Amino acid sequence: MSKVGLWVAGGAVAVVAAGAAGTVMSGNKIEAKMTTETRQMLDKLAPLVTVQELKYEKTFTSATRTLTLKMGCGDTSFPLTWRDRIQHGPLPGFSTVGGAVIDSEFVLSDEVKAKLKEAIGLDAAPLTVHSVVSLGGDITSDMAMPSVKAKLPDGTQLTWQGLTARSVQKGAATHYDMAMPSLEMVDADSGAVVKMVGFKSTGDATSGKYWWASPGTATGEIASIEVAGKPEDGEAVKLLMKGAKFSSKVTVDGDLLSTAAEGSTSIEVNGYKVDKVLWQESAKRIHLPTIEEIALSFINKENMGLICQGDAGKAALEQKIQQVSAELPMKLMALLPHNPQYGIDKVAATYQGKEGEFGYSLGTEGVTAEEVKPGATNPMALIKKVVANAHVKVPTAWLRAIADASKGDGEAPTDEAINAMIEPAIAQGFVVREGDFLVAKASFKNGAATLNGKPMPIPGLPPVAPQ
């Protein structure tokens, strides 16, 4: 063989050897990741969910992981099996370049398959996931749940067009897209219908210190939601929501969580149309370690273990829950030194071209850790550190519309009669006129309350000049 031939042959051997080494390394990396992370995750759910069997059968180019979980405990427990078929990189299945390709699904016995077929007409696996792992470790997963058309035990007819989703995980960051074409339920007795069409959602999140409070954003839409029915003693009702859109944002600054969410839609009820409904909600400076401590006092291994100890365990669990619930108000006080605030910032509706709205917020400012220690709490001192605001704005045209819609067979009140009902409230300072609107604004700060900018005495509190 010539030198050139030797070089070519040597290069080919080197390429094959490198590919083989890459396949081995890829396979070992995937195995370590899937077995270690699985046990870490499931350890948090024990003993209600335990690993009954975890098998990892590996060949040179592929592997199969079969995970069988024991769900529940005692006589009501049942097995649930999940199987991953893995093709190792760097050439998984010789169809692409990457770290691995993984196809996952529930493994159902013939008996379970027959029951699903009978109950909900399901022929396919209830959930399948196809994942591609890049050489750099990024994971792209496509999830699918099949369509279902079934008659539920109570006679309700269910028609669901399935669900699809894709997630792309790059390190700590995850992006997802989700879609559900339609869901319809029809009550067999009354004929009442609930139908949702065109649900879509997309979002981004970054995992951090608190896996259950990941910073990120999400948006979504629902083309329509229809609810129709006729009560036994009443008129038929049809509610239709169209063009619903929503968004949310979660931020974490150190140990403090803040959220903001908003949504909008149009609503029509029995022919009466509200052109637009808008809502905005927010929470600020929520202390995550306190929330985590409270959650773990209810949901923990010891409490879950009591569920599996028969009647005696359930009685002991009920006693523990009562004790923890009694301690809850004092534990919640630990949130206050962080100046938390929650608000329904705005709920607005546009009717006949006029928009009305209301909103409120509630929080604290300046509470110290010393003030919320057990035995040191002074309710009056804490009240002075409460900050609250509320507002309402109603178009006067709505009063005319409400009067016309509610007159029945009689005559609607005249404009003069409507004004006569409004004027006493204006005279007493409960509302003020601002153009074509009736407005009320209330606030509470430093122990003092105001209504429309004027001091408002509160029973039980000493009069304090507003600041």
In angstroms, the CA 128 to CA 287 distance is: 38
Provide, rounded to the nearest whole percent, the portion of the chain with pLDDT above 70.
Answer: 88
- On whether the CB atoms of residues 185 and 158 are closer than 8 A, the answer is yes
Average pLDDT, the chain: 85
The backbone torsions φ and ψ at residue 17, rounded to the nearest 5 degrees and listed phi first, read -65, -40
Indicate the domain borders of the chain. Answer: 23-112, 350-455
- Checking DSSP bridges between strand 448-451 and strand 454-455, what pairing results, if any? antiparallel
> How many helices (DSSP H) and strands (DSSP E) are in the chain?
8, 22
- Taking alpha carbons only, the member of 144, 172, 175, 173 closest to residue 160 is 144
Judged against a pLDDT cut of 60, whether residue 138 lies above it is answered with yes
Residue at token pair 């398959």: 113
- Residue 20: predicted pLDDT: 33
- Residue 50: predicted pLDDT: 84
pLDDT tier at 465, thresholds 50, 70, 90: low
Mean pLDDT of 416-429: 89
Give pLDDT tens digits for 17-39.
Answer: 333 333 333 445 555 655 666 66
The pTM assigned to this predicted structure is 0.83
Give pLDDT tens digits for 316-342.
Answer: 999 999 999 999 999 999 999 999 999
